[in-house]
Amino acid sequence: MPANKGGRLGLAFPILIINMRKIFIPIIAAVALTSCNQGSKLPAIAPDIITEKTPNDTDDPAIWINPDDASKSIVFGTDKETNGGVYAFDLDGKIIEEKSIKNIQRPNNVDLEYGFQLNDSVTVDVIAFTEREKQQIRLFSVPEMKPLDGGGFPVFEDETDVEQRLAMGISLYKSPKDSSLYAIVGRKIGPSGSYLYQYKLESDSTGVSSNLVRKFGSFTGGKEIEAIAVDNEMGYVYYSDEGECVKKYYAEPSMGNEELACFGGELFLEDIEGIAIARYANGEGYIIVSDQQRGQFNIFSRKDNSFVKAVNLSTLETDGCDVVTMPLNDTFPNGLFAAMNDEKNFYFYDLKKALDLKP
């Protein structure tokens, strides 16, 4: 009897496995097919440089052009975790330890501006980034990497719900009118209106201060607003309402809070993510936006926001990106496009090779 039971079990078990295979193989194939269908169908363009990896989770880059020697420019990139930081990379993708800022509590996005007036005779270039877990933004000089913020500027202080104070996106705006510097800040969760707060950064004999000057920005709900980019020369701020479209407002506080455009939403598979603005003379240029789940970038005209084309830069799940249009070195003779890649690193491309766009 035991032998017979063993025999029956021995026959039944292989049959069960075969049946399970018949069930699971089509399911696995279907999942794989679905995943492939979601990816970009465009020819993949490989990066010129892949950076060294950060410890945790890369998110957003910002490119600083060295005014004395463009070949010594720096790409700053956030590493998004409680023990995170803002890492500095040279143009070969190597981490510059002495220029990196460590032990930041979940830095999300980063931006850069030139010529912030510290006093009557001194200007400095600066980077600003969000520190989500401390509900604040940070401000450092570049390339000295000295803090200018006394430990950080609190944001969304009037919100009673701490979840609505968790800073994520940031972009700096330098006004062409009077050279005032502003930080436009978004958050992880926010209301349908006034999702963004705009702060004026000012310096006097006591140091740098941050003062709220505006609340604006509609939000359709469902996802979030993270990516923010400002076009100083044209006077516009763009942000990704991730489930809806790219939205456009005036960056100058005195110009009001009217939504000027909501474009491109139908071109994205799911999340609308990082925004970079390629600036050329006479208002020419491009708005480059990450189509995150499709693994490509949609490109729009800087002048009228019409769709130009899409490119596949072979990145995975790109959040943030940045671009400069001037020559930097032999690797980047036409400018540099930097994009977050979901393998704890960033991809660098020569601008013409990556986007093949006319100035």
Q: How far is it, in rounded angstroms, from Cα 246 to Cα 261?
A: 8
* Domain presence at residue 43: no
Cα Dmax for the chain: 99
- Same domain as 127, residue 28: no
- Same domain as 331, residue 195: yes
* Domain presence at residue 327: yes
- Same domain as 236, residue 183: yes
- Same domain as 193, residue 173: yes
- Same domain as 267, residue 217: yes
- Same domain as 242, residue 142: yes
Q: How far is it, in rounded angstroms, from Cα 217 to Cα 200?
A: 17
- Same domain as 25, residue 130: no
CATH number reported for the structural domain that contains residue 89 in this entry: 2.120.10.30
The four Cα atoms 89, 92, 97, 101 give a dihedral, to 10 degrees, of 0
Beta-carbon count within 10 A of 188 CB? 17
- Name the residue type at position 130: T
Structural domain that includes position 106: 48-355
- Same domain as 299, residue 224: yes
- Same domain as 104, residue 196: yes
How many structural domains does the chain have? 2
Strand, helix or coil for residue 6: helix
- Name the residue type at position 138: R
Q: How far is it, in rounded angstroms, from Cα 77 to Cα 59?
A: 7
- 262 burial via Cβ count (<10 Å: 0-12, 13-18, 19+): middle
- Same domain as 317, residue 176: yes
Q: How far is it, in rounded angstroms, from Cα 278 to Cα 239?
A: 15
Phi and psi at 23, nearest 5°, equal -75, -45
Kindly report, residue by residue over 159-168, the tens digit of the pLDDT. 999 999 999 9
Per-residue pLDDT of the chain (359 residues; tens, 9 = 90+): 433 333 333 333 343 333 443 334 343 333 333 333 368 999 999 999 999 999 999 999 999 999 999 999 999 999 999 999 999 999 999 999 999 999 999 999 999 999 999 998 999 999 999 999 999 999 999 999 999 999 999 999 999 999 999 999 999 999 999 999 999 999 999 999 999 999 999 999 999 999 999 999 999 998 999 999 999 999 999 999 999 999 999 999 999 999 999 999 999 999 999 999 999 999 999 999 999 999 999 999 999 999 999 999 999 999 999 999 999 999 999 999 999 999 999 999 999 998 988 77
Tokens 């069930």 — which residue? 23
- Same domain as 171, residue 275: yes
Report the pLDDT value the prediction gives residue 26, as an integer from 0 to 100.
41
Residue 256 Rama label (left phi>0; alpha psi -120 to 50; beta): left
- Same domain as 121, residue 7: no
